[in-house]
Amino acid sequence: MTVAYDSEIEATIDAAIASAEAGSLDIAVKQFSLARTQALHLADPEELAKKIASDHAAYVRERNQFRALFPAKPAGTRNVLIMSDSLGLPRPDDIEGEAQTYTNLINERYPDLNVTSLCQRFATTQNVRDELTADPDLGRDSHFVLHVGLNDCANRMFLENERIALSFLKPMTRDKLIDFTRKYRRDIIQRLPPHHYVNPTEFRQNLDAIIDLLRARNADKIVLTTIILPPAKSWPGTPGINRNFAAYNLEILNAVHDRDALLLDLDRHVWQAQNQGVLDPDGMHLADKGHQLFCNKCDPYLR
């Protein structure tokens, strides 16, 4: 399907490419931003909403299938709710990866602990807050482990709705936008405002709201987990990545301090164990040893 506005967006991204090749990068990234905005706002809102809803439904199905692997135990006298993004799930190409996830390792380690898992791809603190608000019994009389933040803080070339809007374009036009972000990623980050799912202020507000909801439900130990800074090989292509991740992690540290929660400083633990194969090759997701590390570091709070 070719949309009527494709040529308009193609003309804008062609202008951005020409400006960049001429050395006018300030103009080029603004033209790219316009093309990105055009792709989103010229898309059919109903078709866009339908595609977003379809993707979300797939994430929820996967989350619920994973949750079903951990039924209540006959000897269970304690409870823990674990909420995470894709870092808590097996990788999509790992058919038998569930056994190595930290959720399963925690479930197997403590026979008296009932584990409720809500791990969902692309989850943010806003998603966690929404889920807790929607279900007034979620996390009641339970320990709580929160492991999200990577999706909140990453500086994106395209947010979800923008990425999906690109799928309505001709492949050639879509590829031009994507190729521009690959070639001029540094310039986009340096010259345009941050492009986050959740900004730092909202991030802290979400953390406070999550803690408030759980405290009102008589939650016991509330554990917040820091965000793993990607390996140094990714730093040159993402200016300010260290400062950005540190800003979000500082919000986690301050929330733990101000709200009397507990800290699992996974970022520091992973960096200390970086030569032990704890991360997948992408430098973000946990390898089997990383899931084991997470489980081990949760032990002081869950034993």
93 — pLDDT class (breaks 50, 70, 90): confident
Task: Give the tens place of pLDDT for each residue, 210-238.
Answer: 999 999 999 999 999 999 999 898 899 99
Return the axis-axis angle of helices 6-21 and 25-41, rounded to nearest 10°.
170
What's the pLDDT at 144?
A: 98
CA-to-CA separations, 186 to 23, 29, 128, 157, 246, in angstroms, rounded: 14, 10, 31, 11, 19
What's the pLDDT at 283?
A: 83
Instruction: Report which of 108, 17, 106, 1 is spatially closest to residue 51, judged by C-alpha positions.
Output: 1
Residues 202-215: b if buried by 16+ CB within 10 A, e if exposed = bbbbbbebbbebbe
What's the pLDDT at 274?
A: 86
Instruction: Report which of 218, 226, 222 is spatially closest to residue 249, judged by C-alpha positions.
Output: 226
What string of DSSP letters covers 225-248?
EPPPPPPGGGSTTSTTHHHHHHHH
- In terms of pTM, does the model score above 0.75? yes
CA–CA distance, 48 with 234 (Å, rounded to integer): 32
Instruction: Give the whole-number percent of the chain exceeding pLDDT 70.
Output: 99
Task: Give the tens place of pLDDT for each residue, 156-169.
Answer: 999 999 999 999 99
Is the pLDDT at 3 greater than 90, yes or no? no
Is the pLDDT at 95 greater than 80, yes or no? no
CA–CA distance, 190 with 102 (Å, rounded to integer): 37
Residue 292 amino acid letter: Q
Q: Once rounded to an integer, what is the mean pLDDT over residues 41-62? A: 97
Is the pLDDT at 2 greater than 90, yes or no? no
Q: Once rounded to an integer, what is the mean pLDDT over residues 119-146? A: 98
Is the pLDDT at 126 greater than 90, yes or no? yes
Task: Give the tens place of pLDDT for each residue, 223-282.
Answer: 999 999 998 988 999 999 999 999 999 999 999 999 999 999 999 999 999 889 999 888
Task: Give the tens place of pLDDT for each residue, 181-215.
Answer: 999 999 999 999 999 999 999 999 999 999 999 99
Angle at 138 between CA 300 and CA 62, to 5 degrees: 90
Is the pLDDT at 1 greater than 60, yes or no? no
All structural domains of the chain: 1-42+156-195 (no CATH), 64-154+197-302 (3.40.50.1110)
Question: What phi, psi does 120 have (nearest 5°)?
Answer: -140, 135
What's the pLDDT at 161?
A: 97
